[in-house]
């Protein structure tokens, strides 16, 4: 492509942090979530009310059993016991109903938040400048939009359950202390042990889950890279080596997950053993209180049930703590992404470009991706309306950077020159008004999943079928499209892989032409097309480019010789400008490149023609 890529520029600072794990509660993240939850306030209220009733019914069960034993069974009051049983069944039904209501309400709120967050993330990513994607891997961005949003959505359900568990703990503690303060204090002796254990376990678990997150992100990135580059992988027979490398990454993912699983599994026996010890203590000392008539037998049974239920919320909170940490960390990453402002935005007073004539002027333009390493240096160039200008130069000369700046994929710093289109500084105009009058055809054609019709009209959906067909005919695409079984309704697979590379490029040309652009940029656009197809396109372009300004990056002699002006870039500077004959006479870099490349290709063709 003939330019340095900015992908390595600022990698460290550009990538979003994967190792943030977060606390179980982050006020900033929770406050940022409020606008997303606010539209579902009524449902949240229903969920909270249901949770309160559900918690109350849970706490009531042992008390009802105690009343049944001490108040009715011991006194043989079976009519009262019957009424209590009916009340018990009613409590169970209420417990089930409120649990169902709570789960359903939280699910609807969570899915609504999930829908809105993903939509906002997609919209935000669409607005990001090209430099953002130079610095951030697709796999990591996918983790944001899919994994992190899901984790944050889970926070709502976990938060409600956590509040319910905390209320259960408060309720159960209050009840057992009312039943017997002495026995209640005895039952709590294992609690400090659990607190100390959790204080040791949490940092270990935090580090383990950070490792899991990092490993999963790396695996996602490697998977995306290898699938996207599968043709290159297979062309160089790299499958086995890539598999070995993927196995190493996947192995680290396996080991990190196993470590996290061992830590999670290790906490469960402790949480299970401590309730057993507490229950044993309650039975041992409670039996003596019953024998001394200081405690009823039903109260002892209720006490045992309460102690068992006391540790259930603790067990749940232990598991939910890590889930809350994950959710908060996901929230940090999501809102970090949403807070990442596009590097390229229209000025507040940006104007709408009128219909362009196509005059382009670069004044003292310098640009770098890495500070101190200029890709373009002090470039001055004036392209007249309707001219076809060929940009050539060695690899890394800055050719693609030049056209990327003209297309305003990147902005030129205010103190490093200016690019004018029809006399307007493109930094002072709305980029949309520039983009709608400029089309680009790149070396690697990219087609979207959908029909050929959808792809040709992709940037210009208002185009009529007549305009679409005319554009296809003008670039020689109509004939092969018509031969397809479904013609323009042919459904293209991902990236159009069911078409040949040349056919995909022809569709790309048609897509560029149907918009009737005033400026056309061809970045090695004919590099992947056979000579015959290129000849058809060259003939078509000679008509299509009339009245349009064209900037062509190419190596083929046929493309370059037909240009009104040839610009020779070398190490980010314009070294020569002129026509083919003028530059050949000058015997400079252009003549050298011609001798090294173009003449060799010309001699290789039958009859010495190229």
Measured in whole angstroms, the distance separating CA 187 from the mean position of its chain's CA atoms is 49
Ranges of H-type helices in 229-346: 230-235, 239-291, 297-338
For 516-552, write each residue's pLDDT tens digit: 888 988 887 776 667 776 776 776 677 677 778 989 8
Q: Mean pLDDT over residues 213-236, rounded?
A: 77
Among 504, 400, 513, 497, smallest CA distance to 445 is for 504
Per-residue confidence (pLDDT) for residue 610, from 0 to 100: 34
Q: Are 430 and 352 in contact (CB under 8 A)?
A: yes
Q: Are 383 and 360 in contact (CB under 8 A)?
A: yes
Share the mean pLDDT of the chain: 81
For 378-393, write each residue's pLDDT tens digit: 999 999 998 889 998 8
For 139-163, write each residue's pLDDT tens digit: 677 767 777 777 777 777 777 778 8
Domain with CATH 1.20.1560.10 in the chain: 21-338
279: left (phi over 0), alpha (psi -120 to 50) or beta: alpha
Q: How far apart are the first and last CA of the chain?
A: 22
Per-residue confidence (pLDDT) for residue 376, from 0 to 100: 92
Among 584, 317, 554, 573, smallest CA distance to 537 is for 554
Per-residue confidence (pLDDT) for residue 424, from 0 to 100: 93
Least confidently predicted of 256-265, 277-286, 318-327: 318-327
Among the four given CATH numbers 3.40.50.300, 3.40.980.10, 3.90.330.10, 1.10.357.10, the one describing domain 446-516: 3.40.50.300
Q: What is the DSSP letter of 357?
A: -
pLDDT over 50 (residue 170): yes
Per-residue confidence (pLDDT) for residue 607, from 0 to 100: 42
For 423-459, write each residue's pLDDT tens digit: 999 999 998 888 888 888 887 778 888 899 999 998 8
Contacts of 38 (CB under 8 A, 6+ apart): none
Per-residue confidence (pLDDT) for residue 367, from 0 to 100: 92
Among 16, 258, 22, smallest CA distance to 142 is for 16
Domain with CATH 3.40.50.300 in the chain: 347-437+517-603, 446-516
Question: Looking at per-residue confidence, does 266 or 12 come out higher?
Answer: 266
Per-residue confidence (pLDDT) for residue 176, from 0 to 100: 86
pLDDT over 70 (residue 24): no
Q: Please state which CATH class domain 21-338 belongs to.
A: mainly alpha
Residue 418: beta bridge partners? 363
Q: Does domain 347-437+517-603 have CATH number 3.90.1580.10?
A: no
For 5-21, write each residue's pLDDT tens digit: 444 333 333 444 444 45
Ranges of H-type helices in 128-148: 130-135, 138-142
pLDDT over 90 (residue 124): no
pLDDT over 80 (residue 3): no
For 582-610, write each residue's pLDDT tens digit: 888 898 888 887 777 655 444 444 443 33
Least confidently predicted of 240-254, 256-270, 588-602: 588-602
Neighbouring CB atoms inside 10 A of 374's CB total 19
pLDDT over 80 (residue 229): no
Per-residue confidence (pLDDT) for residue 558, from 0 to 100: 60
Among 552, 574, 555, smallest CA distance to 376 is for 574
Measured in whole angstroms, the distance separating CA 134 from the mean position of its chain's CA atoms is 14
Ordered DSSP codes for 2-28: -S--GGGTTHHHHSPPS-----S--HH
pLDDT over 70 (residue 262): yes
């Amino acid at each position: 492509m003939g330019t340095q890529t900015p992908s390595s520029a600022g990698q460290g600072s550009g990538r979003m942090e994967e190792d943030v794990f977060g606390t179980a509660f982050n006020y900033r993240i929770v406050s940022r979530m409020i606008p997303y939850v606010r539209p579902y306030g009524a449902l949240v209220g229903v969920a909270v009310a249901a949770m309160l009733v559900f918690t109350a019914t849970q706490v009531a069960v042992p008390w009802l059993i105690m009343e049944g034993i001490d108040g009715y069974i011991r006194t043989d009051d079976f009519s009262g016991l019957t009424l209590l049983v009916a009340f018990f069944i009613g409590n169970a039904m209420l417990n089930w109903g409120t649990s169902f209501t709570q789960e359903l309400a939280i699910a609807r709120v969570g899915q609504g938040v999930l829908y809105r967050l993903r939509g906002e993330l997609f919209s935000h990513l669409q607005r990001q400048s090209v430099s953002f994607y130079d610095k951030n891997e697709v796999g990591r961005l996918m983790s944001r939009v899919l994994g992190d949003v899901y984790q944050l959505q889970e926070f709502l359900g976990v938060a409600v359950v956590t509040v319910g568990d905390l209320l259960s703990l408060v309720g159960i503690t209050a009840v057992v202390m009312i039943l017997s303060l002495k026995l209640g204090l005895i039952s709590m002796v294992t609690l400090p042990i659990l607190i100390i254990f959790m204080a040791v376990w949490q940092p270990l678990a935090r580090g383990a889950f950070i490792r899991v997150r990092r490993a999963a992100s790396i695996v996602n990135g490697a998977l995306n890279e290898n699938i996207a580059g599968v043709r290159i992988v297979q062309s160089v027979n790299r499958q086995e080596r890539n598999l070995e490398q993927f196995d190493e990454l996947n192995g680290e993912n396996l080991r990190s997950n196993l470590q996290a699983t061992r830590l999670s599994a290790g906490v469960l026996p402790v949480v299970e053993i401590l309730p057993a010890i507490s229950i044993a203590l309650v039975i041992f000392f409670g039996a003596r209180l019953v024998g001394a008539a200081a405690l009823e037998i039903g109260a002892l049974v209720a006490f045992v049930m309460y102690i068992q239920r006391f540790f259930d919320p603790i067990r749940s909170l232990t598991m939910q703590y890590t889930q809350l940490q994950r959710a908060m960390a996901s929230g940090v990453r999501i809102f970090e992404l949403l807070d990442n402002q596009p590097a390229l935005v229209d000025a507040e007073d940006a104007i709408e470009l009128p219909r362009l004539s196509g005059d382009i002027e670069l004044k003292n333009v310098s640009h770098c991706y890495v500070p101190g390493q200029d890709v373009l240096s002090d470039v001055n160039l004036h392209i007249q309306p309707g001219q076809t200008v060929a940009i050539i130069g060695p690899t890394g000369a800055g050719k693609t950077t030049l056209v990327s700046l003209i297309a305003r994929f990147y902005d030129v710093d205010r103190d490093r020159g200016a690019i004018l289109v029809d006399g307007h500084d493109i930094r002072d105009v709305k980029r949309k008004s520039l983009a709608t009058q400029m089309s680009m055809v790149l070396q690697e054609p990219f087609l979207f999943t959908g029909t050929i019709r959808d792809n040709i009209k992709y940037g210009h959906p208002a185009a009529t079928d007549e305009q679409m067909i005319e554009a296809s005919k003008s670039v020689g695409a109509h004939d092969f499209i018509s031969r397809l079984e479904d013609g323009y309704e042919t459904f293209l697979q991902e990236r159009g892989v069911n078409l040949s590379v040349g056919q995909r490029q022809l569709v790309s040309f048609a897509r560029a032409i149907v918009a009737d652009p005033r400026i056309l940029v061809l970045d090695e656009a004919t590099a992947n097309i056979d000579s015959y197809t290129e000849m058809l396109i060259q003939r078509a372009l000679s008509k299509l480019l009339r009245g349009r300004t064209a900037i062509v990056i190419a190596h083929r002699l046929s493309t370059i010789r037909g240009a009104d002006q040839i610009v020779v870039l070398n190490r980010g500077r314009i070294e020569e400008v002129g026509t083919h004959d003028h530059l050949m006479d000058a015997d400079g870099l252009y003549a050298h490149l011609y001798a090294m490349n173009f003449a060799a290709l010309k001699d290789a063709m039958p009859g010495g023609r190229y």
